[in-house]
Amino acid sequence: MNITFQLLLIFPYTEPESVDHRAAASAIKILSSILNISIDITELVSYAEKIEEMEKIIQGMYAQQQIEKKESVMHT
């Protein structure tokens, strides 16, 4: 009995603790190229951009909070 498998694995880099829409879009882009089909990744990229923008805002808020903490310690 001769069993053969054709297998393709695509592992885009991503952080394990978060959903990564950009990595998913990258994997789908590669897969669509291999299969010679068109898959729209616009929505995934849009989600990725929104999440990245929110992360920048949160990082800025955190940085500002740290500055304010240091300033309040200096004035006590």
**What's the pLDDT tens digit per position in 21-53?**
999 999 999 999 999 999 999 999 999 999 999
pLDDT tens-place string over residues 4-27? 878 888 888 888 888 889 999 999
pTM for this model (two decimals): 0.66
Distance between CA 61 and CA 48 in Å, rounded?
A: 20
CA dihedral 22, 25, 27, 29 (to 10 degrees): -140
Q: What is the residue extent of each domain of the chain?
A: 21-74
Tokens standing for 72? 């309040």
